[in-house]
Amino acid sequence: MTRLDVDKTIEELTLGEKVALTAGVDFWHTASVERLNIPALRMSDGPNGVRGTRFFNGIPAACFPCATALGATWNTDLLHEVGQLMGEEAIAKGSHIILGPTINIQRSPLGGRGFESFAEDGLLSGTLAGHFCRGVQEKGVAATLKHFVCNDQEHERMAVNSIVTMRALREIYLLPFQLAMRICPPACVMTAYNKVNDTHVSENKEILTDILRREWKWDGLIMSDWFGTYSTSDAIAAGLDLEMPGKTRWRGSALAHAVSSNKIPEFVLDDRVRNILNLVNWVEPLGIPPHAPEKALNRPQDQALLRRAAAESVVLMKNEDKLLPLSKDRPTLVIGPNAKIAAYCGGGSASLDPYYTVSPFEGVAAKSHSDVHFAQGVYSHKELPLLGPLLKTEDGQTGFRFRVYNEAPSEAKRTLVDELHLVRSSGFLMDYVNPKIKSLTFYVDMEGYFTPEESGIYDFGVTVVGTGKLLIDDEVVVDNTKNQRQGSAFFGSATIEERGSRHLNAGQTYKVVLEFGSAPTSDLDTRGIVIFGPGGFRFGATRQLSQEDLIAHAVSQASAASQVVIVAGLTSEWETEGCDREHMDLPPGSDEMISRVLDANPNSVVVIQSGTPVSMPWIGKAKALLHAWFGGNECGNGLADILYGDVNPSAKLPLSFPVRLQDNPSYLNFRSERGRVLYGEDVYVGYRYYEKLARPPLFPFGHGLSYTSFSRSDLSLSTVPELATLADGEPITASLTVTNTGSLPGAETVQLWVMPPVTGVNRPVRELKGFTKVFLDPGEAKRVQVVVEKKLATSWWDERRGKWASEKGEYQVLVTGTGEGELREGFTVEKTRFWVGL
């Protein structure tokens, strides 16, 4: 790549070339203009790992703990390291741009992509995102803050009108973007799918130009979310630089005509092109060649960081009678649906093929010095477990053959155009291409051989974006080709899983074939649904088992066990892009299993995996509870490090866990109704709501225990008004002593809250305004400081003035941390002042 003279290049570009530069050419690349040495740029998801350019059959990647897990670390240094490794992973994949981090706000526990965002609080989310971006961009890779703004639900996400007051928009939803930009201005911002107050964000001039560019003085590139552009002239005029993905829907000849007819002045188009060329120059030092091959890193130091991040994200929610840590020298029984599967990430664009995974059972077994046993308890799959890894090819390899044809199976003469060997029997073909395929309509036969270990009735399931028919020894067992029903898989574009059953004998080998037709063969009504590429498939199977028998066996085992760990929760099937959760409950049977095991062995340790809150009707019985999120490649090892005490838990909840879904502030105002969603809770999101109503949640924001204990003392506040002005924020430094009063090394997170004075404006009881994490040996004391800006710590958004208001009065600073107790000091704002900007 050669550095461009941007203004000169714009002068030399033809109108057609300018137009072409403002839209992608495929799913992951921008346009190039070879005669002017303008290269194509490559981008990749995502929020918790760099997938590369292929959803289907791609190069494996490092999978980091999900964003709520990273949010639970409250560790800016760790997020910086994670960002650096993410940047190196992007370079290995030949990507100039990472499509992350996601910093939307979790209004509700039901948000399908809630696991992708750091926190329910803008200060925590924006601070962590800023340090993450700094790590990424130190490697020369462009970070992308998304989704700007109010993309907080999946239901009708492209059509919904988010109705929100300007005060809530500023104080809650824009705040994480604002704060992240103060720490590290990102190279890119991605617009949200939804409307905000009647206008789609990708054509909302007030948000994109007035706030983002003029007020915040940000000069990077604005891209649309995928298929999140809805107009030609309006989007260009509002400030949307790049329509993604390609091929373009809205630019091309339509945009050229708009410029030629003076509907869009050419200088406005030039502004869009300038931001694209500036980004080309920004990433130029990377030296990534065109069509760069995608590579894997998977280095020992990367694995160590992933393990450290996984362990540091685990929240110790309860630990009565000091049940934890467990003893490595005593036998351990691991029970539960998530024990032997690795729930390493959520679903959708955050998903990727990991280099490897470590299940909780594998992590516990590797660390224990004694026997480790397993009981299933219940199954938690939403769709049947993938059959692919249980199949063999004709020559004995694990997996199945994927054979592609232009002609349907009913045609006598078919020509094989492609053949792959796959193991995973789930594939999203959005980026699958083959030059021999004649159209979007093609057919695939997937063939493998299954030899069951046990006799019984087996259930088989098929989910498709397209059509699918599963045959066993040439007999149709599942037919998902007609009268199809809408499901939630593959970004909400797939059918539900259709099932069929057949009795199989142990030791007998059966030929399994899935006859798949691509997306155009489907009879689903896809109005309002985005179909990504030529379709997708998923087929699974499991032997029929009685839930009562499974639970009874687990209870019997637990009653006699020395140490019991129950691992339950959600997976990428339950938390995924494209659909919101219907409730907060665990999968069917999980609560009953947990409750009955706790009755049989009250000292059982419960581990829950999910990216967002779940209900816990058995919580009164549980003495020890860990929340382990979706923990990435090293999820099982990180969890085992906590269970056995090799790592002292230090995580704090980045979002509130309500007792019931009905207690959540957005309960009456979540999901789209008639094309709109009312943000009726206004600024009272998360802890702000529970504290204002004095309604304690099950577990509050900021909660997290440790195997050691801490004290906080000697709080003092200092300001240097003679050296500071409102323009630089008037820093306030809170100094205090933190002491590890226990017998183990550990980390304390100091949380600084500000309580506003009682004035004519209704405000939250308190708001998080700063935090820091400190590591201490037993008996060690450190003097720590938390610096906050007075204008940020005291201001609310005055809608009548269109400015932030730092209101005069007496403010209280509260400092909290692990366990009970708080420190309190006060400071004064002498004069009400108003401001705008970062």
What is d(CA 474, CA 197) in angstroms, rounded to the nearest whole number? 55
Is 374 buried (19+), middle (13-18) or exposed (0-12) by CB count in 10 A? middle
Residue 257 C-beta-side C-alpha neighbours within 13 Å:
6
Measuring CA to CA, which residue among 49, 86, 82, 78 is closest to residue 651? 78
**Type of residue found at 287:** G
Q: Specify which residues 463 forms β-bridges with.
A: 538
Q: How many CB atoms lie within 10 A of CB 451?
A: 14
The one-character DSSP state at 169 is I
Tokens of 285: 């030092």
Is 719 buried (19+), middle (13-18) or exposed (0-12) by CB count in 10 A? middle
User: Which H helix or E strand runs over 569?
Assistant: strand 563-569
- Residue 267, helix vs strand vs coil: helix
What is d(CA 216, CA 804) in angstroms, rounded to the nearest whole number? 13
Residue ranges in 53-195 assigned as alpha helix (H) = 67-73, 76-92, 122-138, 166-168, 175-183
Q: Is 418 a known active-site residue? A: no
The catalytic residue among 45, 121, 152, 225 is: 225
Residue given tokens 């087996």 in the structure block: 458
What is d(CA 736, CA 749) in angstroms, rounded to the nearest whole number? 12
What is d(CA 602, CA 581) in angstroms, rounded to the nearest whole number? 30
User: 345 to each of 225, 244, 358, 732, how far by Cα in Å?
Assistant: 21, 25, 12, 39
Q: DSSP string of 190-236?
A: EE-SSEETTEEGGG-HIIIIIIIIIIT---SEEEPPTT----SHHHH
With beta carbons less than 8 A apart as the criterion, state whether 704 and 650 touch: yes
The sheet with strand 188-191 has its strands ordered as 43-44, 97-98, 142-148, 188-191, 221-223
Tokens of 746: 């550990």
Active-site annotation, residues: 225
